[in-house]
Amino acid sequence: MDDVRRAQRGDRDALGRLIARHEDSVGRILWRFTRDQGEWESLVQDTFVEMIGSIRSYRADSGFEHWLARIATRVGYRHWTRRRRNRERVRPLCEDSIRALAARPEPSDAAQLLHELLGRIDPPERLALTLVYLEGLSLEDAAARAGWSSGGMKMRMRRARIRLAQVAADCGLELGDLP
């Protein structure tokens, strides 16, 4: 019997093994939703708590990793909408970050800048951009991950591209060859 089935029957050790096995992939997904390490760790933990709470309802028709990725995406998205409701302001962008990045192109600095740019976009469109541009998912896969219809995903992506172009223009950035 595999660990998923054992975990569904309440085997704690199997749950522990599942978490250990998927910790990295869940962590990578949620690092797109926050750049704060404390927040990130608690989002990863929330994902596994939700996984434990709903593992009995998991059906093997979709892969376990895909099912877990959907939970992680939901947890991250909820984090964004909560921040939105709290009316927390994203840190204002500055040309300095862009200049610094041009001088010394580091992935973490680029990700930080992109995180701040995307923070100016509403959560649904932001999620569409994150799944397609950063996770590299196709529109179909992104729709499945977000739990949206394929048409809904296309509509959000259309709006998202327009919004992203505005945000980029505000910072003096060209879009480049983004699809």
Query: 15 or 143, CB closer to another protein?
Result: 15
**CB of 63 vs another protein, minimal distance in Å:** 20
Query: 49 or 149, CB closer to another protein?
Result: 49
Phi and psi at residue 119, in whole multiples of 5°? Answer: -65, -15
**CB of 117 vs another protein, minimal distance in Å:** 8
What gap in Å lies between CA 159 and CA 143, rounded to an integer? Answer: 15
Query: 41 or 88, CB closer to another protein?
Result: 41
**CB of 138 vs another protein, minimal distance in Å:** 16
Query: 53 or 149, CB closer to another protein?
Result: 53
What gap in Å lies between CA 86 and CA 165, rounded to an integer? Answer: 26
CB 39, CB 79: distance < 8 Å:
yes
Query: 4 or 111, CB closer to another protein?
Result: 111
**CB of 52 vs another protein, minimal distance in Å:** 4
CB 117, CB 126: distance < 8 Å:
no
CB 18, CB 71: distance < 8 Å:
no
Residues 6 or more apart in contact with residue 152 via CB below 8 angstroms: 143
**CB of 149 vs another protein, minimal distance in Å:** 25
Sites of contact with another protein (CB under 8 A): 12, 15-17, 19-20, 23, 27-28, 30-31, 37, 40-41, 44-45, 48-49, 52-53, 98, 101-102, 105-108, 110-111, 113-114, 117, 133-134, 136, 164, 168, 173-178
What gap in Å lies between CA 171 and CA 141, rounded to an integer? Answer: 31
